[in-house]
Amino acid sequence: MSGVSGAERLARVVLSRIGEPGDPRLTDLVHELGGSLVLASLREQASDRELGADLAERLAATDPVQELERADRQAIRFVVPGDDEWPEMLDDLAHAPHLHERGGVPVGLWCRGKLRLDEASEHAVAVVGSRSATTYGADVAGSIAATLARATWSVVSGAAYGIDQAAHRGALAARGPTVAVLACGADRAYPAGHKSLIDYIADVGLVVSEAAPGCSPTRIRFLARNRVIAGLSRGAVVVEAAVRSGALNTASWAGGLGRPVMAVPGPVTSAPSAGVHQLIRARDALLVTSGEEVLEAVGPVGLFTLEDPREPESLRDRLATRERQVLDAVPLRQAADSGSIARTAGLAHGRTKEALLVLHRAGLVEHSLGRWRVAMDEDPV
Amino acid sequence: MSGVSGAERLARVVLSRIGEPGDPRLTDLVHELGGSLVLASLREQASDRELGADLAERLAATDPVQELERADRQAIRFVVPGDDEWPEMLDDLAHAPHLHERGGVPVGLWCRGKLRLDEASEHAVAVVGSRSATTYGADVAGSIAATLARATWSVVSGAAYGIDQAAHRGALAARGPTVAVLACGADRAYPAGHKSLIDYIADVGLVVSEAAPGCSPTRIRFLARNRVIAGLSRGAVVVEAAVRSGALNTASWAGGLGRPVMAVPGPVTSAPSAGVHQLIRARDALLVTSGEEVLEAVGPVGLFTLEDPREPESLRDRLATRERQVLDAVPLRQAADSGSIARTAGLAHGRTKEALLVLHRAGLVEHSLGRWRVAMDEDPV
């Protein structure tokens, strides 16, 4: 089901094939005017002998009907704005600032997999990070992804080595939905070592690309791809990122979209955490330590509100005020007599002695030779 | 040299001996009215048979001249407001909110050591944290303290196990000034295992206590002590702190004094970092990763302003725009011919070929059988 005309869809196929992902000269115009009009204008431009020779050749070489048939044989569908499956949240990209001369709403997305794009992104969080992750980072990414998956939130990432793959695998292990957004065509696998992971994601989740099938990954396509990861998510979590890392680019896209940017800290001695710490220091990201805290930041208000983590209530918490005052006045090391404790506590001697008995029964103070001290050499504060 | 009368000093000695450190019923009145007046009022109260029997006994038992002589024999001096050595910054405690029913300006501080209290605290940072520190936390605390010490800033801490001792030792190793603020008397050592560390700090730095000599450490004295650590520092750094940790209490005091609170993150899987992460999440502390960042936060504006850490400039940064556009269009994995690269880059074929030659000379692209790919399989973004 779709409100998109056949001509408009075919025009967008041509534009997707001849244009670069996220080229704002194309995406902004198409979002504003539609694919058919923009394509017609390009054909006009191609008729200019000076400017248009190469363009004319590319237009002539592209048969959108064949493109769709070939994609269909690879189980790839082309989803465009107006389709039931198109996620409205992607249209927010029309108003997000361009980064690295990329931006705008994709003219369409090539999708491979059984999940519907709109459903897979309705409750989705991007979990991204360094390719050269540490085992610490990979463990935390996997654990956050698993928590999201158990709450039936999708995990969106880039299928790269390191944090990305740990995030996808964490979601898959918890049998949750996961979406891999690629910089190459949805029929290909980059990195090649993740071919079976990417194929598995297509089996049970969704593989998405703005680049047409067959396209190679290039640096500029990674930058455009990061914007789609952010666009398909309610918020982005960066787990480990060196000072210059693509994950920080994804965080910038999420920030530009006004969506929560979260970051997981690590040891300050670990280079893959340096970019994350910079994000938090600059107040560009909220520090998160768990999937629950991620859900609290992106979830409907109130649904996932966490209690601040607290130690279990201690024996001390259950004491009456007077007993606590007396306990506070009992020396930690060198025992004191009850009179001196009463003076320190500022309480009458008799009441102090009563309280000492209660504390003794509770095992909180020790008594020997008429003197008292705190029972355990625990943290005094 | 001091503008303090002998009578006022002796009155404060008595008040320090009979009162509890940081009891605001005492500190606030004494700050407002002076020690002599408050002591006179207490003597009046002691003459009331109902209320004052115990108080009268304590007043009678205290001979301030003897107290000072005994302290002097232990090389301990009693520093009070109005003394040249009194740090004005401590008077800020008069306006900081009370915590745990403690607060206010100390009636005096008992000092043991060769540093002057005002000089040791003029450029000082508190470095505090968990007693059950990890080696990671202790290493980072020591390294931050050493950086502060090399910049001739004092390191103020509490001489406890774990982070405190690592901070003192880091400063000492860099031959920098360090101040240990104790919850027991300045003549004593808590924990006992740190007796030689505390004595060494008295030799080359300063040991300070609000509690009179001979006093035992009690929980309430630790809470009052934390306020003195914060009061003697331009800012406080928490290195590791479990969810309930005295170090967080010190951070609250620094925050209440309007001084920078800083916190060093760690692995989210490490319990001793949980309290630190909570501080940063609540925006109660600035995340710091190094002594330089601490100095930037507490130092005179501009003196320690840091550059954001950046990777060294890459080969790519030194390319002209056109060459960078072409490099961005070269596939990472499967090689492409120059015509296809020109189309991806959106540049004329001839110019693209010129740029490919430059990139090839720079070792950034590989060429084989008329096709090009990126030379190193490095992080694409």
What ipTM does this complex have?
A: 0.79
Which amino acid would we find at residue A224?
A
pLDDT of residue B36: 94
Which residues of chain B make contact with A220, given a CB cutoff of 8 A?
A: 328-329
pLDDT of residue A305: 60
Which residues of chain B make contact with A219, given a CB cutoff of 8 A?
A: 327-328, 332, 380-381
Q: For residue A11, with 0-12 CB atoms within 10 Å meaning exposed, 13-18 middle and 19 or more buried, which class applies?
A: buried
Which residues of chain B make contact with A222, given a CB cutoff of 8 A?
A: 380-381
Q: What is the mean pLDDT of residues B203-226?
A: 96
pLDDT of residue A52: 67
Helix (H, G, I), strand (E, B) or coil at A150: helix
Provide, rounded to the nearest whole percent, the portion of chain A with pLDDT above 90. Answer: 70
Q: What is the mean pLDDT of residues B55-64?
A: 87
- Cα torsion A333, A339, A343, A347 to 10°: value is 110
Q: What is the mean pLDDT of residues B181-203?
A: 96
Q: Which chain B residue has the Cα nearest residue A183?
A: B380
pLDDT of residue B315: 73
Does the pLDDT at position B380 exceed 60?
Answer: no
**A311-364 residue pLDDT tens:** 556 777 778 888 888 898 898 888 888 888 888 887 888 888 888 888 888 888
Which residues of chain B make contact with A332, given a CB cutoff of 8 A?
A: 190, 216-219
Nearest by CB to residue A218, choosing from B132, B269, B329, is B329
Does the pLDDT at position B306 exceed 70?
Answer: no
Query: Which secondary structure element, helix H or strand E, spans residue B155, and what is its range?
Result: strand B154-157
pLDDT of residue B374: 87
**A103-112 residue pLDDT tens:** 999 999 999 9
pLDDT of residue A308: 57
Q: Does B379 lie at the interface with A, CB-CB under 8 angstroms?
A: yes
Does the pLDDT at position B309 exceed 60?
Answer: no
Helix/strand/coil (H, E, C) string of B300-361?
CCCCCCCCCCCCCCCHHHHCCHHHHHHHHHCCCCCCECHHHHHHHHCCCHHHHHHHHHHHHH
Does the pLDDT at position B96 exceed 90?
Answer: yes
Count of CA atoms in the C-beta half-sphere (13 A) of B68: 14
Query: What span, in angstroms and rounded, lies between the C-alpha atoms of A182 and B234?
Result: 50
- The strand order across the sheet containing B261-263 reads B76-79, B109-113, B206-209, B178-182, B154-157, B124-128, B236-238, B261-263, B286-287
**A152-202 residue pLDDT tens:** 999 999 999 999 999 999 999 999 999 999 999 999 999 999 999 999 999
Q: Which chain A residue has the Cα nearest residue B245?
A: A381
Top pLDDT among B306 and A280 is at A280
**A209-250 residue pLDDT tens:** 999 999 999 999 999 999 999 999 999 999 999 988 889 999
Give the tokens for residue B190: 């808590």
Question: Counting one residue from A and one from B, how many pairs have CB atoms under 8 Å apart?
Answer: 171
Does the pLDDT at position B245 exceed 80?
Answer: yes
Q: For residue A68, with 0-12 CB atoms within 10 Å meaning exposed, 13-18 middle and 19 or more buried, which class applies?
A: middle
Delineate the domains of chain A, giving CATH numbers in brackets. Answer: 67-298 (3.40.50.450), 315-374 (1.10.10.10)
Give the tokens for residue B289: 């990763």
Give the tokens for residue B252: 């609250």
Residue A359, C-beta contacts closer than 8 angstroms, at least 6 positions apart: A319, A323, A326, A327, A330, A365
pLDDT of residue A328: 87
Cα–Cα distance list, A179 to A1, A258, A333, B189 (Å): 22, 21, 59, 59
pLDDT of residue A266: 98
pLDDT of residue A351: 85
Which residues of chain A make contact with B343, given a CB cutoff of 8 A?
A: 18, 54, 58
pLDDT of residue B346: 79
pLDDT of residue B78: 98
**B69-93 residue pLDDT tens:** 999 999 999 999 999 999 999 999 9
pLDDT of residue B49: 65
Lowest-confidence range among A143-157, B218-232, B252-266, B309-323? B309-323
Q: What is the mean pLDDT of residues B140-145?
A: 98
Interface test with A, best of B42, B127, B225, B268 (most A CBs within 10 A): B268
Query: What span, in angstroms and rounded, lies between the C-alpha atoms of A328 and B218?
Result: 6
Strand partners, A156: A126, A179
Residues within 8 A of B (CB atoms), A 38-67 only: 54, 58
Taken as a whole, chain B contains a residue count of 381
pLDDT of residue B48: 74
Inter-residue contact A158 to A181 (CB < 8 Å): yes
Interface test with A, best of B18, B287, B325, B326 (most A CBs within 10 A): B287
Top pLDDT among B56 and B91 is at B91
- Candidates A16, A21, A218; CA nearest to A102 is A21
pLDDT of residue A321: 81
